Structure 1
Amino acid sequence: MDLGVFNLVRHLTDLPVVRASIIATVVAIGFNYLGFRYFTYRDRDKSGRTKELSLFFLFSVIGLVIQNGVLYAATYGFGWDTPLQSNVFKFLGIGIATLFRFWSYRTWVFRALPAREAVQAAESFLEQRGPASRAAEPDRVG
């Protein structure tokens, strides 16, 4: 998504490369939060949404600086600013920033539930199903 929006903004506007990249990164950050919260880490602790959002955006901004710093260095430091070169360094920046974001999101933002809470959540789920639905299931010998 990030590369697609980057190239779209780059070709439809006269914005400089790094500004187009920042716009694309911000759009991707919004979609990333939705994907992480509601799909990838949907089973993680959901208490403290304000803290979660704050940490997510803090680490996302650090990732944005890493990602666009690579592009900035290539474009303005080395003068590599053809469309192909911009895409290569944008891709490289995405890769480096993704490693940082993966670690930080998993470690600090979308924290796993403590084991006691996970067991309580599972027991609560089973209680909601009721005895009739559990009686229809075959016993498992483990």
Structure 2
Amino acid sequence: MPRAGTFGPVPPNSPRPAGMRARLRSLAREASKFGAVGAVAFGVDLIIFNLLLNAGSETLSAKTISTVIATTLAFIGNRFWTWRDGAHTHLARQYTTFFVLNAIGLGIALACLAISHYGLGHFWPALRSQAADNVAGQLVGTAIGTIFRFWSYRKFVFRADTDRNPGMTSSSPTLS
């Protein structure tokens, strides 16, 4: 028997700290699904953005159009797969909230693109290239926007349905 304050063997029938582990596993599953949906939407966004640029569209217009199309795809994937067990009682409100939050995410990506293309590109013309636009808008902007989207979708759009998941509350396991 170990002395007080020392570590000893854990009895085989002792309860496991399942609360935190279960929440982390659930969060990892959720983030994986969100990531898969996001990867598909990102691919669609990237392809459409570059097609529009090659067709002569203005940079910010091309990014806006490609993001709106990718957002529609992401809503469908997240609504019916990632958070299919969440509270889905007001689809129109959910769809609207999703798009408002995604517009903020779009704003983040557009800000990164505008700072690079129009701000820094004024001093370094290489930042006005298609490759630089892809790095600024598609990689940097999308990465920062994705972090915001994951948090905001969980918090405001696809909240856990407490009727179906009695152990979950509106504050768990959300990111705060």
Give the alignment's TM-score, normalised by structure 2: 0.63
Once the two structures are superposed, residues 19-65 of structure 1 have per-residue CA deviations (whole angstroms, 9 ceiling, x without a partner) of 11111111111101001111111111111112211211110111111
Give the alignment's TM-score, normalised by structure 1: 0.78
2:24 is aligned to: none
Greater RCO between the two (CA within 8 Å, min separation 6)? 1
Equivalent residues in 2 for 1:1-142 (5 A)? 1-11=44-54, 13-79=55-121, 80-90=127-137, 91-114=139-162, 117-118=163-164
Structure 1 Cα separation of the partners of residues 87 and 165 of structure 2: 13
Give runs of ≥4 in structure 1 deviating > 4 Å. none
User: Residues 109 and 145 of structure 2 are in contact (CA less than 8 Å); yes or no, is this contact kept in structure 1?
Assistant: yes
Which secondary structure state, in structure 1, belongs to the residue aligned with residue 52 of structure 2?
A: helix
- Which has more helix, going by share of residues? 1
Structure 2 Cα separation of the partners of residues 54 and 86 of structure 1: 29
Which secondary structure state, in structure 2, belongs to the residue aligned with residue 23 of structure 1?
A: helix
Structure 1 unmatched runs, 5+? 121-142
Structure 2 Cα separation of the partners of residues 45 and 72 of structure 1: 37
Once the two structures are superposed, residues 110-133 of structure 1 have per-residue CA deviations (whole angstroms, 9 ceiling, x without a partner) of 01011xx1168xxxxxxxxxxxxx
Which secondary structure state, in structure 1, belongs to the residue aligned with residue 115 of structure 2?
A: helix
**In the superposition, relative to structure 1, how do residues 74 and 113 fare at CA in structure 2: closer, same or farther (>3 Å)?**
same
**In the superposition, relative to structure 1, how do residues 46 and 10 fare at CA in structure 2: closer, same or farther (>3 Å)?**
same
**In the superposition, relative to structure 1, how do residues 38 and 119 fare at CA in structure 2: closer, same or farther (>3 Å)?**
closer
User: What is the alpha-carbon root mean square deviation over aligned residues?
Assistant: 1.3
User: Residues 85 and 164 of structure 2 are in contact (CA less than 8 Å); yes or no, is this contact kept in structure 1?
Assistant: no
